[in-house]
Amino acid sequence: MDSNRRVSPIFLQVKGMKDIKGIFVLASLFLLFISAGAFSAQEIAIKAGTILPISDAPVENGIILIKDGKIAALGPNVAIGADARVIDAGGKFVMPGMIDAQSRLFVIEGELNDSSSIAPELNILDGLDPFVKEAPEVAAQGVTAVYISPGSHSLIGGSSAVLKLNGSMDIGEMLLKGDIAVKAAIGVSANNESSSLGRLSDYSSIRESLLETKIYVHNREKQAREMAEYNKKRAEYDKKKKANPAEKADKPKRPARFRPNPTREVLAKVLSKEIPFQIEAHRVTDILNALRLADEFGFTLILDKCTEGYLVAGEIARRKVTVILGPVSTSFIDMPSLEYRNHDIRNAAILSDKGVKLALGVSGRDGASSKFVALAAAMAVASGMDRDLALRAVTLTPAEILGVADRIGSLQAGKEADIVIISGHPLDTLSRVEMVLIEGKTVFERKDQQ
Amino acid sequence: MRNYVILLTFLLLVSAFVAPGRAEVTAVKAGKILTISGEPITDGVILIENGKIVEIGTGIEIPEDAAVIDAGKSVVMPGLVDASAVQPVRGDLNEQSSEITPTLRISDALDPQSKALKRVVQTGVTTLFVSPGRQNVIGGLGVVVKPAGKIPQQMIVKDEAALRIVMDLDSTEGNRIPWREPPINFYYRRPGTRMAIIWMLRKSFFDAQQQADTEQIKDPNLAVLSAALKDEIPIHVNARRAIVIRAALKVADEYGLKLILQECTEGYKVAGQLAERKIPVVLGPFYYYPGNMGQYSEGRKVNWNNAGILAEAGVKVALSSGEQLGSIDILTAATFAVRHGMNPDEALKAITITPAEILGVSDRVGSLEKGKDADIIVLSGDPLNVTTRVERVILNGKTVYQQASGETL
Amino acid sequence: MKSRSRITLVSILLIVFIAGSMAYTAPVRKKLAVEAGRIITIAGKDIKNGVILVEDGTIKAVGTDVEIPWDAFVIEAKDKVVMPGFVMAHTSDGLDRANENMPEVPFISTFDSIDPISTFFEDSLRDGVVAMLVLPGNNTLLGGTGTIVKPYGRTVEAMLVKRYAGLKISLQPSRNTSRMGHMQRFRRYVSELKDYLEEYEQRKAEAEEEKKPFDEEIDVTKQSMVDLLNKKLTAFIYCDRAADVPKAIEIQKTHELNTVLVLGPDCYKAAGLIAKSELPVILDPQLIVWETNEQTNEEEMKVIPMIFHKAGVKFAFQTDTSQYGRRYLWYQAATAVKYGMKQEEALKSITLYPAQFVGVDNRLGSIETGKEATMIFLTGDPLDAQSWVDQVMIAGEIVYERAKDERLKKLLEPPIKLQEPKDTD
Amino acid sequence: MKKRRFLAFLVVLSSCFSLASSGGEQQVLAIRAGKIWTVTDGVIAGGVIVVNNGKIQTVSQNAEIPEGAKILDMPQMNVMPGMIDAHCHIGLSLDIFGEMDETVAAVAADMQILDAFNPQAEDVKKALGSGVTTIMLAPGYKNPVGGQPAVVKLDTSKADEWVLKRTAGVEFSLMNQALMFDREPTSRAGLVELLREELNQGKAYKAEEFNPRRELLKRVVDANLPAYIWAHTVDEIASAMAIVDEYKLNAVLVAAGQGDEIADMIAKRNLPVIYSPLLLSSKDKDLKRAGRIANSGVKLAFASLAPKTDLCDLRTSAILAAKYGLDKETALKSLTINAAEILGVADRLGSISEGKDADLVILNGEPLQLTSSVEMVLINGNIVYQRQGE
Per-domain residue ranges for chain A?
1-38, 39-95+424-435, 98-196+261-408
- Least CA distance to B249: which residue of chain C? C423
- Least CA distance to C192: which residue of chain A? A259
% of chain D at pLDDT higher than 90: 73
Residues D251 and D228 in one domain: yes
Q: Which member of B268, B389, B408 has the closest CB to residue C414?
A: B268
CB contact under 8 A, C275 and A13: yes
- CA of B270, closest CA in chain C: separation in Å? 7
Instruction: Write out the H or E segment, with its range, that includes residue D321.
Output: helix D313-323
pLDDT at residue B388 tops 70: yes
Count of domains forming chain D: 2
Q: Looking at residues A74-101, what average pLDDT do you find?
A: 94
CB contact under 8 A, B292 and C310: no
- Least CA distance to C273: which residue of chain A? A13
- Intervals of CATH 3.20.20.140 along chain B: 81-359
Which of B17, B93, B96 to probe the D interface (max D CBs under 10 A)? B96
- CA of D189, closest CA in chain B: separation in Å? 5
pLDDT at residue D81 tops 50: yes
- CA of B318, closest CA in chain C: separation in Å? 18
ipTM for the whole complex: 0.89
pLDDT at residue D96 tops 80: no
- CA of D241, closest CA in chain B: separation in Å? 10
* Least confident residue range of A276-280, B7-11, D338-342: B7-11
D44-79 pLDDT per residue, tens: 999 999 999 999 999 999 888 998 899 999 999 999
Residues D156 and D21 in one domain: no
pLDDT at residue A147 tops 80: yes
Q: Would you tell me which residues 24-63 of chain A have a C-beta closer than 8 angstroms to some C-beta of chain C? A: 24
Q: Residue C141: what are its φ and ψ, rounded to 5°?
A: -55, -60
Q: Would you tell me which residues 94-133 of chain A have a C-beta closer than 8 angstroms to some C-beta of chain C? A: 108, 110-116, 119, 121-124, 126-131, 133
> Does C324 contact B at CB distance below 8 Å?
yes
CB contact under 8 A, A115 and C181: yes
- CA of D95, closest CA in chain B: separation in Å? 27
Question: 3-class secondary structure for chain A?
Answer: CHHHHHHHHHHHHHHHCCCCCHHHHHHHHHHHHHCCCCCCCCCEEEEEEEECCCCCCCEEEEEEEEECCEEEEEECCCCCCCCCEEEEEEEEEEEECEEECCCCCCECCCCCCCCCCECCCCEHHHHECCCCCCHHHHHCCCEEEEEECCCCCCCEEEECEEEECCCCCCHHHHEEECCCCEEEECCCCCCCCCCHHHHHHHHHHHHHHHHHHHHHHHHHHHHHHHHHHHHHHHHHHHHHHHHCCCCCCCCCCCCCCCCCCHHHHHHHHHHCCCCCEEEEECCHHHHHHHHHHHHHHCCCEEEEECCCHHHHHHHHHHCCCEEEECCCCHHHCCCCCHHHCCCCCCHHHHHHHCCCCEEECCCCCCHHHHHHHHHHHHHHHHCCCCHHHHHHCCCHHHHHHCCCCCCCCCCCCCCECCEEEECCCCCCCCCCEEEEEECCEEEEECCCCC
| pLDDT of B129 | 97
How many CB atoms are closer than 10 A to CB B178? 12
- Least CA distance to D390: which residue of chain A? A384
B301-360 pLDDT per residue, tens: 788 999 999 999 999 999 999 888 765 689 999 999 999 999 999 999 999 999 999 999
Mean pLDDT, rounded, of chain D: 89
- CA of A400, closest CA in chain D: separation in Å? 25
Task: Place A259 in a pLDDT band, splitting at 50, 70 and 90.
Answer: confident
- Which residue from A208, C94, C187, C381 is spatially nearest to B385, judged by alpha carbons? C381
For residue B191, give the 3-state DSSP assignment.
coil
Q: Which CATH architecture has domain C2-85+376-412?
A: Roll (2.30)
Q: Which residues of D touch B94 (CB under 8 A)?
A: 186-187
CA atoms within 13 A on the CB side of D171: 33
- Intervals of CATH 2.30.40.10 along chain B: 2-78+368-402
- Name the CATH topology of A98-196+261-408: TIM Barrel (3.20.20)
Q: Looking at residues A67-95, what average pLDDT do you find?
A: 93
Task: Place C327 in a pLDDT band, splitting at 50, 70 and 90.
Answer: confident
Q: What residues in chain B have their Cβ under 8 A from chain D's Cβ atoms?
A: 89-97, 101, 103-113, 132, 140, 150-153, 185-187
Determine whether domain A39-95+424-435 maps to CATH 2.30.40.10. yes
Task: Place D99 in a pLDDT band, splitting at 50, 70 and 90.
Answer: low
Give the N- to C-terminal CA distance of chain B in Å, as an integer: 10
Q: What CA–CA distance (Å, rounded) separates A240 from A252?
A: 12
Q: What CA–CA distance (Å, rounded) separates B129 from B96?
A: 21
Q: Which CATH architecture has domain B81-359?
A: Alpha-Beta Barrel (3.20)
> Does D204 contact B at CB distance below 8 Å?
no
Asked, as a colleague might, if the bond just before C415 is cis with ω within 30 of 0, I would say: no
Instruction: Write out the H or E segment, with its range, that includes residue D47.
Output: strand D43-52
| pLDDT of A248 | 77
> Does D354 contact B at CB distance below 8 Å?
no
Write down the CATH superfamily of domain B2-78+368-402: Urease, subunit C, domain 1 (2.30.40.10)
- Residues of chain B by 3-state class (helix, strand, coil), percent to 5: 30, 25, 45
- Measured in residues, chain B has a length of 409
Number of CB pairs, chain B paired with chain C, less than 8 A apart: 119
Highest mean pLDDT among B188-192, C219-223, C410-414: C219-223
CB contact under 8 A, C272 and A121: no
D247-257 pLDDT per residue, tens: 999 999 999 99
pLDDT at residue B291 tops 60: no
Mean pLDDT, rounded, of chain C: 90
> DSSP label at D159?
S
- Intervals of CATH 3.20.20.140 along chain C: 86-364
| pLDDT of A195 | 74
Q: Do the Cβ atoms of B167 and B248 come closer than 8 Å?
A: yes
Q: Looking at residues A400-419, what average pLDDT do you find?
A: 97
- Which residue from D270, B107, D111, D195 is spatially nearest to D203, judged by alpha carbons? D195
CB contact under 8 A, D312 and A365: no
| pLDDT of B214 | 67
Number of CB pairs, chain A paired with chain C, less than 8 A apart: 85
Q: What is the extent of the structural domain holding D12?
A: 2-82+352-386
* Least confident residue range of A177-181, B132-136, C395-399, D117-121: D117-121
Task: Place C160 in a pLDDT band, splitting at 50, 70 and 90.
Answer: very high
Task: Give one word for B174, left, alpha or beta, with left for phi > 0 and alpha for psi -120 to 50.
Answer: left
The domain that holds D228 is classified in CATH as 3.20.20.140
Strand A433-438 relative to strand A85-96, pairing: unpaired
Q: Looking at residues A339-365, what average pLDDT do you find?
A: 94
Q: Would you tell me which residues 325-344 of chain B have a C-beta closer than 8 angstroms to some C-beta of chain C? A: 326-328, 332, 335-336, 338-341
CB contact under 8 A, A19 and C177: no
For residue B243, give the 3-state DSSP assignment.
helix
> Does C326 contact B at CB distance below 8 Å?
yes
Strands of the sheet with A44-51, listed across from one edge: A70-75, A59-67, A44-51, A85-96, A419-422, A433-438, A441-445
Q: Which member of B115, B253, B328 has the closest CB to residue C292?
A: B115
- Least CA distance to C248: which residue of chain A? A126
Indicate whether this model's pTM tops 0.95.
no
- CA of D198, closest CA in chain A: separation in Å? 33
- Give the residues across from A143 on adjacent strands: A98
Q: Which member of C302, C338, C413 has the closest CB to residue B389?
A: C338
Q: What CA–CA distance (Å, rounded) separates D340 from D17?
A: 32
Residues D112 and D39 in one domain: no
Residues 6+ apart with CB under 8 A from B143: B105, B106, B107, B110, B129, B130, B131, B156, B158, B159, B160, B161
Residues D373 and D324 in one domain: no
> Does D235 contact B at CB distance below 8 Å?
yes
pLDDT top residue among D114 and C10: D114
Please calculate the CA angle D336-D337-D342 and round it to the nearest 5 degrees. 105
A148-180 pLDDT per residue, tens: 999 998 999 999 999 999 999 999 999 999 999
For residue C251, give the 3-state DSSP assignment.
helix
Q: Between the CA of residue B48 and those of A216, A232, A308, what are the distances in Å?
A: 83, 97, 70
Task: Place A7 in a pLDDT band, splitting at 50, 70 and 90.
Answer: very low
Number of CB pairs, chain B paired with chain D, less than 8 A apart: 92
Find chains touching chain B: ≥3 CB pairs under 8 Å. Answer: C, D
Residues D90 and D76 in one domain: no
- CA of C134, closest CA in chain B: separation in Å? 20
Find chains touching chain C: ≥3 CB pairs under 8 Å. Answer: A, B
| pLDDT of D20 | 43
Determine whether domain C86-364 maps to CATH 3.40.1160.10. no
Residues D151 and D225 in one domain: yes
For residue B57, give the 3-state DSSP assignment.
strand
